[in-house]
Structure formats: structure tokens, C-alpha cells
Structure 1
Amino acid sequence: MALPTPHLEKLTATLANEKLPPVDSPRIDAAIVRYKKWIVDLNAVTGTPQQRIQALVALLNDYRRYIDLELVFDSPQDFLYRQKGQLKLDNSVIEEFLPHLVQPAVLPEIAGHEVVVGPTTCFSSVYFSTSLEIPVVGGGLEIRAKDQDFAISKKLFLKASHDAAFGAQHTVTKETHIGFVVSECKTNLDKTMFQEACATAHDVKAAVSGARYYLLCEWLDMTPLSTAPTDIDEIILLRKAKRLNSNVRAKYANFAGRKANRANYLKHLTDNPFRVEVFERFINHIRGILRNEAPVESDVLARGYF
């Protein structure tokens, strides 16, 4: 099955952006060529699950360093660097990478589950837009949904009708996805984003009681807070590092500053790569969910707890 390509979509959208400086157009073209090679290399990885994770993360680090440094940071114009948050050329790499990681070759437990893996729009709530004076077919069934950066989900079809036989003319049908494992991917995690994630996690679990919510971030930009009183299952720091201080980032605002400080920025990226062990932790969380089975009475009585 074809995997989603959110990062490629961001590259092509950037190429079509009217504000993109002409000097950057061939550089984006070169990035698309580099992207295609990255995908070929990801698909060519073999070995045991652990070997695959190590190889996949190594390829992620190599490609992401190219995007961050050679494409964005080295641009002679300031557009790509200053508009990183809007263009999403950086964190969309993670969104595209995760489906390559969550595959049966790495996670055998997922084989046989008819799930959709990757960015998708997941069910949030349902409501009915109808009234006595203005009746609507099927009670006016409507679905609220939210885009998720990464999810392990299943398609869900909902039907509503005032007709017990669900006759076609009296029935409305809606299609959505129900998210079982939902993750939001952030480049930098600050307190505002943390609070937004808490609200999202609450909504996810209100919609699906058995769902799990993980917040994946690269750079920590806040004082860590406990997730215990929230609906977030865990915050995973993909680089296990803090964001560069604002006074350091200020030097990168223009090409001259980036050129003068390139060595320091490269060292920062090299010293803080994506960590294999945190991706393994994420995989193990999913593995634990897939291995959960309904308790057997005889086992519960023997143990004394469940």
C-alpha cells in the first residue's frame, strides 16, 4: 500500500509559492531529487527489527541534516529560513518518516491489523444539524474531525436515518477514521504548544476511550511539566536536547549571519541527532498496545489482580 507523502507535498507547495525567491527554485528542485533518493533508501532497508530502526533513523538524520542545513540554512535568501514555521519543510519529514517506521518488518505485531498508518483526519465528535421545523435526512448527521500528524487508525462508516430500514433516500452516510494511536509532531515544544496538546489529547480520548496520545517533539523549549494530570500518555523528545537560545538564533536571521555561524549550527545538529532509543520507545509503546489482551478469569484469580 502506498504510504502518505506529506513532506513531498510541502516541497511541491514551496516550489509553487509565489513568494519563493528565484534563486531558491532550483534548490527546491534539487531537494525533490534528494527526497526521492531518500524514499528509495528507506524502502531498501533490511535486517532485524532493531537493525531496521537503526538504519532508518540514520537515513532520517542524514536527510534531515540536508534539509535543515543545505537547503534552508545555506539559502542566500532569507525566505526559507524565516518562513520555516509556515512552510513546514522540517517537521513534515517526521510525519512522512513515521509510517516507514511503523511497518510489520519493524513491528511484527501490527501485521494482520487492517489499519491506516500515517497522517490522517480522525473522528472527533458527531452532531445533528436538524430541527422540527426544518427536518433533514438522517437527522442532519455531521461529523467533526481533526487532522492528526500521525495516527494508527481504521476507517469508520456512520449511518443515520429516521427510517428503521435505512432506506437509501432517508439515510445519510459519513466516512471518517477512528484514531487508536494519535501523535502530534512538533519541531519545538513550548508551553503554549504543550497546553494545546493537552486539549487535543483530551478531545482524542473523549472521542475514543481506548485511544493513546503521544506528543513527539525535536527540541524542548520550555521547563518540563508533568503529564500525569493531563491526557497525554507521553512526551517523547526525539533529539533529547533543548532548543538553541533566542540570542543564538537571532544571529541566523540573515544570510551573512548564517554563513558566519554555519560551523556552530552544524555542530548543534551533529551533536543532537534523532535518537534511536526514543524511536524504539515509541515503537515499544505501540507494541504494548497491540499485545494487550482481554484478561482471562483464571489468570486473574491466580494473580490476584487485573
Structure 2
Amino acid sequence: MNLVHGSNLEQKESHKTKYRDRESRAYLAEIRLEYNKWRDANMRLSGPSSKIQKDDAAVVRERARLLENYKNFLDQQKYAEKFDSRSNLHSTVLEEFLFYLFKDLVADFGEKALVGKSHTFKDIFFLPPNYSAMLARPHASVERKDHDFVIGATVEARLFITDDRQSRADAENPGSVGIFEAPASYETRIEGRVERHYFDLPAVVIECKTYLDKTMLEGSSRAAEELKARNPNGLYLVVMEWLKLTEDVNLRKYKVDQIYVFRKQKNTDREFRFDVDYVKNPINLDVVFHLFNLVRDHLTADWEGGIKYGLERGWLI
């Protein structure tokens, strides 16, 4: 189990050249102590799952409370100044929180379910150096996109050139695709005339931001459009603590399915968040619970779609 925020902290603790000064070591030790409490409390907490239970809201409330407490600790000025945004220490907290929020829901679908950071399928193209090489194997390249948080499956695709001497049945099925557990490496493996390609297929993509501005939203929208072009049943969401959008932004033209602002608050530059008069809204339970229910409904629904299904209804989309 790779917990992204914990891994980031561990990398800093074991770095050979950076964070070796006394102050950094002391700060990392303080953060480690509080992180372990946050992690252990979340791992002990069970739910919510794929089945609706009367205590679902209470469990989500507790996870939100644990997140709020840990974020309040980590957002202290001394840590913010010591570990800037490039270190990803602060930004990975939301990503790990999403794992805790959805871990029991995803577990209900079996061991092969993928949850966490991901290298999702974006596109495939073929680039043999010459015709002779094309006849030997496909020379396929799979383009992947990294995402902060994904619920989905890891795919192994075996591609090879059909041999004329094969049976007709084999010729009509030149490749095979399977769902399996994540490989140690996503690099393409060449085994004679067969290529093995590995990529993740997302059912849900969640992009995590400290805040969201218009440029970020445009990037998220392009990523969502690319996802739906290859995986029309995919759900693309964006979550953040603060919002940095003005009223003249037309949200309807963007391709993301939903945008969640956990603190229900406009963004304030980081240096002003340390002012004595600044009031930081807490993580909002209703927002987090809406996010969870949207994802649960999507994962437990039947994904009807396509021309045939639409024609039976009379409306296609």
C-alpha cells in the first residue's frame, strides 16, 4: 500500500542531501508524529462502503474532522515556509485523504480494483521503423497521463501481428486484453513477436488542488475531454480547498463533471492566511459527503450507453 503523502514525507526523511539541517530534521519529526496519528486513525475507521448505511455521514464527518485537524497542524507558517509548494508535502494531503475516503468503497469490488495515483490510458499509436519491422510486431506506443487520484483497473494488452498460418479464429482475435493487478513497472515488455503494454483504465479521476484558478480549470477541462473521448463512462472531478474564480467564468463550457471546494471559501494568498484576522473555513462535511455519494452512485450504477441503448430509449445522450 503506497500512501502518497506518507511516501512524500518518507522521501524527505531519507533524502541524502536535502532536509539534513537541524531545523528540517526537527520539523520532519514533528510532522511524522502527527501524520502517524492521522494515518492510523483513518485506517482504524471503517467505511463508508458500497452499501448505504445509516452511519455513513458520521463516518465521513469523522474523516473530515481528522483531515481538518491534520491540515491545521501542517499549515502552520513554519512548515509552509520550510517546505514550499515544489516539495508537494502539503498538496499530497488531499490525495491521501481521498484514499481513506474511498478505500472501503473500492474494496467491495475486489482485489483487482485500482485506487490512488495512476498512469491512465490516453492514446495509442504505431511507429514501426520500416515495413519489415511492421510485419514482425506492431511497434505500439501507449501514451499515458498521470492523475492525482484514480479509481479504476490496470490493463495488460498483448499485441502481435497475425500469422497467415493461424486458424481463422485466431486471425480474427489478434490481440488480448486483461484486467489484472498493477505491475511493478509500466514499461512495455517485448517477448519475441508479442508486445505487452500496461496502463490504467479509470472509472473515476479526481484532480486535487490547493486552489483552482481559470488556467487550472482550462487544463482540467482538456484532460476531462481527453478522458471521455477514450473512456466515455469515466467521471472527472476536481477537488480543492479554496476557489480562485471570478463570477465571469462560464462553468458550463468546461468538461469536468463536478468541482468541489472543501472549505466553501475564496482563495487568499498564502502569506495572508497567517494574518491574525484571517478566518479559515473548516472542511465542510456536506461537500465531502456529496463527493462520496456521487462517486459511490457512479461505481454502483449500470453504465448503459451507446447507440443501440439510446435508440431503444429514443434519446441518445
Q: TM-score range by the shorter chain?
A: 0.7 to 0.9
Structure 2 gap segments, 5+ residues each = 48-54, 164-169, 176-190, 305-309
TM-score, normalised by the number of residues in structure 2: 0.77
CA contact (8 A) 2:203 2:299 kept: no
Higher helix share: 1
Identity of aligned residues (%): 23
* Residue 264 of structure 2, aligned match among 221, 226, 240: 240
- 1:53-68 map, 5 Å: 53-68=60-75
SS at match of 1:139: coil
1:188-230 superposed Cα distances (whole Å, 9 cap, x missing partner)? 1111111111111111112211111001111111215333222
1:5 aligns with 2:3: yes
SS in 2 for 1:120: strand
Measured in 2, the distance between the counterparts of 1:57 and 1:264 equals 24
Q: Secondary structure at the match of 1:119?
A: strand
Determine the C-alpha separation between the residues in 2 that align with 1:206 and 1:192: 21
Aligned letter for 1:282?
L
**Counterpart AA for 1:293:** D
Give the equivalent residue in structure 2 for 1:118: 116
The structural deviation recorded for 1:292 is: 2.2
The answer (yes or no) to whether the contact 1:163–1:170 under 8 Å persists in 2 is: no
Cα distance, 1:93 vs structure 2 = 0.6
Per the alignment, residue 79 of structure 2 pairs with 72
What pairs up with 1:104-143 in 2 under 5 angstroms? Answer: 104=104, 107=105, 111-113=108-110, 114-133=112-131, 135=133, 137-143=136-142
Given that 1:163 and 1:171 are in contact with CA atoms closer than 8 Å, whether structure 2 keeps it comes out as no
Contact 2:218/2:254, CA 8 A, preserved across alignment: no
1:175 to 198, 220, 234: 198
Q: Which of 237, 252, 265 pairs up with 1:214? A: 237
Q: What are the ranges of 5 or more consecutive residues in structure 1 without an aligned counterpart?
A: 253-257
**1:194 corresponds to:** 217
In 2, the alpha carbon distance for the partners of 1:222 and 1:274 equals: 19
Contact 1:227 1:234 in 2 (8 A): no
Q: State the aligned residue count.
A: 276
Kept in 1, the 8 Å contact 2:27–2:79? The answer is: no
My pick for the range that moved more, 286-295 or 206-215, is 286-295
TM-score (norm 1): 0.80
Give distance in 2, aligned partners of 1:158 and 1:286.
27
**Structure 1 residue 292 corresponds to structure 2 residue 296:** no
Task: Check the 8 A contact 2:98/2:149 in 1, yes or no.
Answer: yes
